């Protein structure tokens, strides 16, 4: 299906130069001199690379038909992860290098969305927030809270997050998967 730059919105997938891109952000620009254009930041769904592209206003391109399926994470198998379709129990192995960013949030039995383009698996989408357990952090020293600072904490998946001083080892925390930031205690 052909779309124009007027149809752009965050999260839309398009095909440009034989690659599949997700629009991360975009901005319509109308300079005082010359024609209007759209400045966009695109993420390549095959390689994970983020690139800035500029399109003329009204330029046409193909929308990429992306399918998502609800899957459950089962286990690690060598250098890939195995997911099971919750409807028909079909199992799919996804290579670790296709989901390297999401691995820091992945836990066994977690519900995720498998992203596919035709029969090609492009990766997974984890929920917007996940609950992880702190495995290592420095103890909070009394009197450190006046400035409202933070300290690094390592989670059970290997993710390192900046957390407030009152967080201790063993605490369960809500983490934002979009930017890897601390939200609250769970």
CA 21 from centre of chain? 14
Exposed e or buried b for every residue in 61-79, given b needs 16+ CB within 10 A?
beebebeebebbbbeeeee
Domain range summary for the chain, segments of one domain joined by +:
2-63, 66-125, 129-185
Cβ(24)–Cβ(35) under 8 Å? no
- The CATH superfamily label for domain 129-185 reads Nucleic acid-binding proteins (2.40.50.140)
**CATH assignment of 2-63?**
2.30.30.30
Rounded Cα–Cα distance for residues 116 and 107 (Å):
21
Instruction: Please tell me the predicted confidence (pLDDT) of residue 38.
Output: 93
Q: Say whether 66-125 and 2-63 share the same fold.
A: no
pTM: 0.73
21-48 pLDDT, tens digit each:
989 899 999 998 889 999 999 988 888 7
88-142 pLDDT, tens digit each:
999 988 888 888 888 889 988 999 999 888 888 888 888 989 999 999 988 876 6
Alpha-carbon distance values, 11 to 8, 72, 97 (Å): 9, 23, 22
Cβ(86)–Cβ(137) under 8 Å? no
Pick the CATH number of 66-125 from 2.60.120.260, 2.40.50.140, 3.40.50.850, 2.40.400.10: 2.40.50.140
Instruction: Please tell me the predicted confidence (pLDDT) of residue 142.
Output: 65
Is 59 exposed, middle or buried (CB count within 10 Å of its CB: 0-12, 13-18, 19+)?
middle
């Amino acid at each position: 299906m052909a779309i124009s730059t007027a149809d752009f919105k965050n999260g839309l997938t398009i095909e440009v130069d034989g690659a599949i891109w997700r629009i991360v952000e975009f901005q319509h620009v109308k300079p005082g001199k010359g024609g209007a254009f759209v400045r966009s930041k695109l993420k390549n769904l095959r390689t994970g690379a983020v690139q800035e592209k500029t399109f003329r206003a009204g330029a046409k391109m193909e929308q990429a038909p992306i399918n998502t399926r609800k899957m459950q994470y089962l286990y690690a198998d060598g250098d890939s992860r195995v997911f099971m379709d919750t409807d028909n129990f079909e199992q799919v192995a996804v290579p670790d290098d296709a989901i390297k960013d999401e691995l820091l949030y992945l836990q066994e039995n977690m519900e995720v969305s498998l992203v596919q383009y035709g029969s090609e698996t492009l990766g997974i989408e984890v929920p917007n927030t996940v609950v992880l357990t702190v495995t290592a952090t420095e103890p909070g020293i009394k009197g450190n809270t006046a400035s409202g600072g933070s300290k690094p904490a390592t989670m059970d998946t290997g993710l390192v997050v900046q957390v407030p001083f009152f967080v201790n080892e063993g605490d369960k925390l809500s983490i934002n998967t979009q930017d890897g930031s601390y939200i609250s205690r769970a």
